[in-house]
Structure 1
């Protein structure tokens, strides 16, 4: 079965979600290690205050896919260049981290621990409620006495990594080099809309949905990246074919640091968003706005489902978890059937 026919069948769960007004629109892309790819899309990039149709060229707020596509990859590139090591403490490049308490736990955090979410830091903090001056907020992140707790998936980990990237490279995140089809400053007219934000008083289109990333200037280590389906598939293919990262870094993103986490990524476990049919070597990640990417190394392909499920509000039941799982199960079943034929 041609990949273009296969993806139409795999898109059926998303088509149902669009028809039932669970989500405004979606695009599904599949790419193989040898470069074959296909995409299928339907629905609206925006429904409020006016409708705009979605296309293959629509730019999505990738939300936490920023963590893997930009931040994790950039840190691993800096490791490859010999500028840092994964087990170096953050203070090796951010010496002012908790500078008023030399015994603070944050001063012992390593790049590896932050990448794999193996720290004591909380999941999230409404930093934007403290103000919108990016430099002051960065200082707040560095000097905050963070409440200690068990390891959780934490945006704070990646805010610190974003600051580290700025310190090492001498460039703000907004000015960091990005591959084609990715941007921290997209053309709003090309973007899928996200939420009707009560804080900003408007429908968000072309600005980062995440309030903390917006207050930090539009980009942070945890959110802010925009991209198209083909940009995401380019990135996925580069990891499948080994051109995107050197062998040691590829091993790092595929090796467990905890039950569910690798360096940067989530590893397969029963009940996860990618579906239970994934091979044990599958890694993936999701984004709050309704985005996701999964790489099945055993089968040699990847798929990405990009939606704007938070438009016009996050406070609805979009059914994103069952949609992601159903899509992953459908994609894998079709690939396995094709392999047997």
Structure 2
């Protein structure tokens, strides 16, 4: 398949150089042909386990595009929401004590495109351990504002909207779809961090602190294998797991760097500097990523456990992602 051996080489080197413990690379084309290669270890402490093709990964922010964006766009297509209406149409209690608050004017589309003034991240988990109280905190606090940036808060709010629309207490009560889950078996998962506040090496349990404290949210928490990721990508390439309307929106530019939920190519993009303009992609903090090139009918995913056993190391993940993307895009 298209430059597969060359695309696998940077991951092998990164492991040999001790930058990451392990990884899996997968490429699929519109005809369903796929190439997958597995490297290194799924866990190194306190035990060692090999990486396999069946290893489950904490997908982190890939949750935003694989699950939340898809569900929000489906809800819009059904007429359950209007993307240009404020979030208050699903979350009427959002900043309910300040009727003229700017937060009450934020729309679904603005959240999908990260076009809001919310901060990039907030340590919600430090405000308590009761998930219901933390949900109330998210909805009632006066959020500090700044320039529009990529923000977890946008998708935490979209996740809360999905809970209300689907009448579930937790987003994890929603079936995430074939090949994906909200947790995974410990001994079949790529380990993430030796968590300083949960006091254990995480494996099969969500790494994202806020998602863990909220007991499920729209910005993180999904688990999947390389083949589930490639199945999802192939479905978008062929239109078999999403409507034409949804696929058109995830390809529609909302800003220089973003579409509805996804990223589009720019200089320094994780998908490679030579990506075709009709490519979309997204990454996850744990070391995951997915890119879909509609023009050339192919997609690829790089899944690593780059934060095992700690996030505080130079894994070189940014350069690794671009190296893999550049090789695939050159095909």
Q: TM-score, normalised by structure 2?
A: 0.98
RMSD: 1.0
Work out which of the residue numbers 28, 44, 47 in structure 2 matches 1:47: 44
Q: TM-score, normalised by structure 1?
A: 0.95
Q: Which residue of 2 aligns with 1:168?
A: 165
CA distance in 2, matches of 1:237, 1:88: 31
Work out which of the residue numbers 314, 318, 324 in structure 2 matches 1:317: 314
CA distance in 2, matches of 1:178, 1:100: 34
Q: Which residue of 1 aligns with 2:28?
A: 31
Q: Does 1:181 align with 2:186?
A: no
Matches within 5 A, 1:1-341: 2=1, 6-171=3-168, 172-217=170-215, 219-333=216-330, 336=331
SS class of match (1:267): coil
The alignment covers a number of residue pairs equal to: 330
CA distance in 1, matches of 2:227, 2:73: 23
Q: Which residue of 2 aligns with 1:339?
A: none
Deviations along 1:238-288, one digit per CA (max 9) or x if unpaired, are 111112222222111111111101100001111110101210111100000
Deviations along 1:81-130, one digit per CA (max 9) or x if unpaired, are 21112112110010000000000111001110001100010000001111
CA distance in 1, matches of 2:176, 2:31: 23
SS class of match (1:11): helix
- State the Cα distance separating 1:185 from its structure 2 match: 2.3
- State the Cα distance separating 1:137 from its structure 2 match: 0.4
- State the Cα distance separating 1:332 from its structure 2 match: 2.3
CA distance in 2, matches of 1:216, 1:279: 38
CA distance in 2, matches of 1:214, 1:8: 37
SS class of match (2:55): coil
Which contiguous aligned blocks of 4+ residues in structure 1 show a shift greater than 3 angstroms? none
SS class of match (1:266): coil
List alignment gaps of at least 5 residues for structure 1: 337-341
Does the Cα contact within 8 Å between 2:119 and 2:153 map onto a contact in 1? Answer: yes
Does the Cα contact within 8 Å between 2:251 and 2:280 map onto a contact in 1? Answer: yes
- State the Cα distance separating 1:221 from its structure 2 match: 0.5
- State the Cα distance separating 1:7 from its structure 2 match: 2.3
Deviations along 1:304-332, one digit per CA (max 9) or x if unpaired, are 00000000000000000110000011122
List alignment gaps of at least 5 residues for structure 2: none
